[in-house]
Structure 1
Amino acid sequence: MTRITERLGIELPLIQAGMAGGSTTPQLVAAVSNAGGLGTLGAGYMTADQIRSAIREIRALTPHPFAVNLLLTEPVVPDPEQISAMQEKMKPFRTELGLPDPAPVTKFAEPFDEQMAVVLEERVPVFSFAFGLLPARWVEACKQAGILICGTATTVREALLLEASGVDLIVGQGMEAGGHRGTFAGPWQQGMIGTMALIPQIVDAVRIPVIAAGGIMDARGVAAALVLGAEAAQLGTAFLTCVESGAHPHYQQAILESTEEQITTIREFSGKPARGLTNAFHEQLERHAGDLPPYPIQNALTRDIRQAAARQNRTEFMSMWAGQGTRLSRRESAGELVKRIAEDLAKFHF
């Protein structure tokens, strides 16, 4: 037992990452929680109504604790000329996919206040977030509602800022982690610190429990995280190829067939650096990385391309986030994955 398993009311020091974009179905979240871990709904791109519906579906599938994850978004001012220039650079992709010229994008992200209101109204057991510091009013509201708060740090400095803000738990996101980088207190390049180096430094710097994330795929990774001082491990990529995953079937197959040499840092899909499988979209647009509109503007601009690519099974134009341990991916149920990790973890002696 660790402070995290005790506080969360879970059997295993294992958390399924809140991957936004549809991968974390209610079935996946519930399966992880039912198996003794903590399932997480990646709700960053969902509307308030969609979040509420998913939460209620999860509750119908499991009596156990689960988390909801949201993404903090800094206010951005669109630059019409920059947007127009980027749309022109992306025209060949739309032509290849048979898409018309895009309509002007007026909405770049779901209203965070509306999303957060649902989290509070539904009184989810755990709320996690990334990309910044949760405003004080929401921290206080969560505490009044009895909701545990978990923030994401990629450096010791960010961990200290999160602790000072009042969060209960910290996810230390190593550079091996799949998906978007959570760096918020400096240039993203300064937050590219490996999990093995990052976790013990955060553990020594803060008093609250730490969760290790980044490249962890099996019991060996979980055990290593615990030895480093973390009190739980967060796995994302390992769950992407589970039966309950909502990830596109061709995306899942690409992960299963990939090697660590195909994983890189990609900014072109969203304007924010994220780790995933390289493909034609990234490789052809990479030379224009300096011209990208910021997140979430670029993320909104590429939505029609990503959606069309998914419909047409064109992985060369899909964002396929994944961490560096993809060779360890398996096709199995989430319950089987958690059970396998629990059984293998019991063989280690701490």
Structure 2
Amino acid sequence: MSQWPDTRILDLLGIELPIIQAPMAGATTAAMVIAASNAGGLGSMPAAMLSVEQLRDELKGIRQHCQRPINVNFFCHQPPAVDEQRAQDWKNLLQPYYRELGVDFDAPTPVSNRAPFDQVACEVVEQLRPEVVSFHFGLPEKSLLDRVKATGAKVLSSATTVEEAIWLEQQGCDAIIAMGLEAGGHRGMFLSDDLSSQVGTFALVPQVVDAVNVPVIAAGGIADARGVAAAFMLGASAVQVGTAYLFTPEAKVSAAHHQALRTARERETAVTNIFTGRPARGILNRVMRELGPMSDQAPRFPLAGGALLPLRAKAEADFSNLWAGQAFTLGVESGTAELTRRLAEEGLAKLLRR
């Protein structure tokens, strides 16, 4: 019998440890998902940057090495209407960098895209039947959500406010990820784009726990056993950990990102929209300092990144997104399986000693 004070997530998802490896698009690999799930937690494969064929291949490969529950994560944004003037104004703002780095300003602007959950993605879920399906930026339309639930998958989604959590429960979410402002990567906000509505994990989690009946998963600023224990003390049934997994050999991060995670100071993260068009937390670099980090001129998500891609190819550290949560300095070098087990074992030990 589990010694955890709240076993609702363990029972709901069929996992042994209340540790969810966060889906980090671009950094998560199949090897990370396999290791996290086989260790007893829940590995999460992000789908937003994968084609349908790539997603299908990744999931089939994972199944060859892991028979335990896995999570597949999808974005639920609405693709923006084309705004050629805004795109050109944004590129014009970046023109001095093009000139400095010797990049052809008149060349066609690359497309930076993220795939939202749609009919075709839903068919992959129906075919391969992951045990858990999670969403970011709300939920898909009801007909698609009903099809996901009909596969037997448990549905999770991120809430950054109490209002979002209540809405998600009303739409049928089986559990809610309470995402504090400390979290790295894209904010899951979807009912409002007002950043002043965003609060920290310690404030958000207990309020969400009090507002909904489904179990709550704490996310944001959790990178060691102390964070795990604190989340349970606040009423969470599990934690979702992201940045700490970027220190594992299974993570796929650029050389610049790898270096920044290990050398930046704890105060050097900020929420920025200049890389994609939506607020996301990352380590400060040159373009964030000089343009923002928030800019009203950035094209809508996910189009802002296209004009930065040629600059990134020339000076990666200065012009690429270095996603990280505020607790990134707590990261330690270890394997995914070891990290998953350590977070659970040491977190539980702290809870039992109180």
Q: TM-score range by the shorter chain?
A: over 0.9
The alignment partner of 2:214 has SS state of coil
Aligned with 1:236 (options 242, 245, 248): 242
5 Å-filtered alignment, 1:21-100, equals 22-100=26-104
Q: Counterpart amino acid of 1:224?
A: A
- Give the direction of change, closer, same or farther, for the CA distance of 1:112–1:300 in structure 2 (3 Å limit): farther
Following TM superposition, by how much is the alpha carbon of 1:81 offset from its aligned partner in structure 2, in angstroms?
Answer: 1.1
The aligned residue for residue 337 of structure 2 is 335
Q: Counterpart amino acid of 2:60?
A: R
- Give the direction of change, closer, same or farther, for the CA distance of 1:23–1:288 in structure 2 (3 Å limit): closer
Q: Report the TM-score when normalising by structure 1.
A: 0.93
Following TM superposition, by how much is the alpha carbon of 1:109 offset from its aligned partner in structure 2, in angstroms?
Answer: 3.7
* Identical counterparts, % of pairs: 39
Measure the CA separation in 2 of the matches of 1:96 and 1:333.
40
1:151-206 CA distance string (max 9 Å, x none): 11000000010001111111000000001111111133133211001001000110
Q: Counterpart amino acid of 1:103?
A: P
The aligned residue for residue 220 of structure 2 is 214
The answer as to 2:144 corresponding to 1:138 is: yes
Preserved CA contact (<8 Å) 1:15 1:235? yes
Preserved CA contact (<8 Å) 2:273 2:294? no
Preserved CA contact (<8 Å) 1:270 1:298? yes
The aligned residue for residue 229 of structure 2 is 223
How many residues are matched? Answer: 345
The answer as to 2:163 corresponding to 1:157 is: yes
Q: Which moved more, 1:72-81 or 1:43-52?
A: 72-81
The aligned residue for residue 115 of structure 2 is 110
Preserved CA contact (<8 Å) 2:15 2:41? yes
Measure the CA separation in 1 of the matches of 2:11 and 2:294.
48
The alignment partner of 2:270 has SS state of strand
The aligned residue for residue 248 of structure 1 is 254
Preserved CA contact (<8 Å) 1:8 1:65? yes
The alignment partner of 1:91 has SS state of helix
Aligned with 1:205 (options 191, 199, 211): 211
Aligned with 2:179 (options 165, 173, 193): 173
The gaps in structure 1 that reach 5 residues or longer are: none
Measure the CA separation in 2 of the matches of 1:115 and 1:59.
18
Following TM superposition, by how much is the alpha carbon of 1:288 offset from its aligned partner in structure 2, in angstroms?
Answer: 7.8
Preserved CA contact (<8 Å) 1:105 1:301? yes
Preserved CA contact (<8 Å) 1:73 1:296? no
Preserved CA contact (<8 Å) 1:109 1:300? no
The alignment partner of 1:32 has SS state of helix
Measure the CA separation in 2 of the matches of 1:142 and 1:201.
28
Measure the CA separation in 2 of the matches of 1:213 and 1:106.
31
Preserved CA contact (<8 Å) 2:271 2:294? no
The alignment partner of 1:221 has SS state of helix
Q: Counterpart amino acid of 1:166?
A: G
Q: Which moved more, 1:164-173 or 1:133-142?
A: 133-142
1:207-261 CA distance string (max 9 Å, x none): 1111000000011101111111110000000001111001113312211222221
The alignment partner of 1:81 has SS state of helix
Following TM superposition, by how much is the alpha carbon of 1:107 offset from its aligned partner in structure 2, in angstroms?
Answer: 7.5
The answer as to 2:130 corresponding to 1:124 is: yes
Please, what is the CA RMSD of the aligned residues?
1.9
Q: Report the TM-score when normalising by structure 2.
A: 0.92
The gaps in structure 2 that reach 5 residues or longer are: none
Q: Which moved more, 1:288-297 or 1:254-263?
A: 288-297
Measure the CA separation in 2 of the matches of 1:94 and 1:75.
27
Preserved CA contact (<8 Å) 2:122 2:147? no
The aligned residue for residue 278 of structure 1 is 284
Measure the CA separation in 1 of the matches of 2:229 and 2:294.
41
- Give the direction of change, closer, same or farther, for the CA distance of 1:106–1:283 in structure 2 (3 Å limit): closer
The answer as to 2:22 corresponding to 1:17 is: yes
Preserved CA contact (<8 Å) 1:188 1:273? no
Preserved CA contact (<8 Å) 1:175 1:191? no
- Give the direction of change, closer, same or farther, for the CA distance of 1:107–1:275 in structure 2 (3 Å limit): closer
- Give the direction of change, closer, same or farther, for the CA distance of 1:242–1:139 in structure 2 (3 Å limit): same
